[in-house]
Amino acid sequence: MNPTRLFSAGAIIFTALVLPVYGQQASRGNLYIFGGSQMTLTGFHTFKNSKKGMFPGVIITDRQAPISILNFADNTSHAGAGENTHVDGYVQKYGHTPFIFPVGDNGFYGPFAASGDGTTGAYYHANPSIAVTSNITGGNYPALPAGAPFPVEAKADTLQAVSTVEYWDIDGTNATPLTLTWDPGSNLAALTGSKLSLLTIAGWNGEKWTVIPSAVDFTSVLGIASNLSKGSITSTVAIVPNQYKAYTFAARIENYPGSVIRFSAEPKDNTAVLKLNESEKPDADLIEIERSVKGVNWERIGKFEASALNSEVNSYSFIDDKTVIGENLYRLRTVNHDGTFTYSPVKSVMMERGVEEIAVFPNPASDRLKVSLKNEVRWSQVKSFKVSNVKGQDFTDLVKVQDEELNLNGLSNGTYIISVTGQSGKVSHTKFVVAR
């Protein structure tokens, strides 16, 4: 490891950082790693804010060549990073496990994630068209990284807008999925016209910003549900980071060939019904339907062929009859004519435990009837129930539910039918006899 010089800015408090210590480590900021130097963390690390000195909570690495780097060893993780506790500059990770880079810029936290060994990156809270950010120690850096600025007006035809708020310099030679995160300051509502489905990652290829196939994460890498205010988006293909000079957010042109196709997903009995938006006529070779239970592993369960997509009647649906109890997640993968593809927003369908069979005991009964529902469904999960005689007369008001049993004292001797309706609307029946 190169010798590291510390920028003196009041008290310097940095625990178990300079030496390769295995165990918990903590940084309280006020640390500057000068150009050309590197420092490596080898254990779990906690970012803390000492609230003292010039740069409390912040580790600074030099952004201008020769850059300095804070390294995280293989299988190293961290906690406590945020707007006032992060690395202002470049971070590198080793190993192939997913890693969230705790990077920021002048009090703005802009983490990204990657899994490729040796991936290095920094966050810039600056307009890519200018690409100038201030040096936290004073003054401004020149346009960075090499090749900057990256004018947002130079963009692919499929893009309607490129972010003027921020960008990332991400480098590496090993292919990896890339994840960018946003917060309210990213102003994605303005960028996308409040249509998160149009969001994509864009990369600067040396001449213009181009679309990188990507999809909004149903649950972001920061552990919250993605929305216009906070969330993350991940490339759907592995990328060699060095392929692009910079990365940022962009909005695709709506209804452009290959853009996101809108659809609905609703429960019906024990199935999920997916319908494509009838107002659209997608210009695509194929739309694949994918399903996931937890939003991590996706499987293809169906598709729409080009012949159907380009037919005169633009009305098509798909029924998933292999749903699971609980939440079922769906998305569409639209394959374009040039072989590229885009993902739709994720739709969620909740499937309750179906009420398909009813068992009663004792039968015949005198004053109380125990009712057992399939899959151990409780009465609190039942939408409604009805008790009638064989002629169809309703006696429900004469029956009371007590401790998940039916009190039959209001019924006369005879044969009755109990009907139970689940939340999905499915109705199940069985007969019982009252005899005293």
393-408 pLDDT per residue, tens: 899 999 988 777 899 9
pLDDT digits (tens, 9 = 90+) for 315-333: 578 889 888 878 899 988 8
Which of 351, 368, 395 represents a domain boundary (last residue)? Answer: 351
Are 129 and 199 in the same domain? yes
CA-based nearest residue to 41, from 11, 63, 21: 21
- Give the domain range for residue 138: 25-252
pLDDT (average), residues 336-344: 71
In a domain, 1, yes or no: no
Task: Give domain status of residue 35, yes or no.
Answer: yes
- Which band of pLDDT confidence, cut at 50, 70 and 90, is reported for residue 377? low
Residue 168 lies in a domain: yes
- Of 52 and 254, the structure prediction assigns the larger pLDDT to 52
Number of domains present in the structure of the chain: 3
Of residues 52 and 99, the one with the higher pLDDT is: 99
In a domain, 152, yes or no: yes
Averaged pLDDT for residues 304-323: 65
Based on the fold, state whether residues 369 and 292 are members of the same structural domain: no
Same domain, 334 and 422: no
Q: Which residues of 33-70 are buried (b: 16+ CB within 10 A; e: fewer)?
A: bbeebbbbbbbebebbbbeebbbbbbbbbbbeeebbbb
Domain end residue (candidates: 206, 229, 252): 252
Instruction: Let me know whether 277 and 387 are in one domain.
Output: no
CATH label of the domain that carries residue 383: 2.60.40
Same domain, 346 and 371: no
Domain limit, last residue, from 225, 252, 279:
252
Are residues 92 and 36 part of one domain?
A: yes
pLDDT tens across 92-149, in order? 999 999 999 999 999 999 999 999 999 999 999 999 999 999 998 889 999 999 999 9
The CA-based angle 9-10-13, given to 5 degrees, is: 95
Q: Are residues 167 and 238 in the same domain?
A: yes
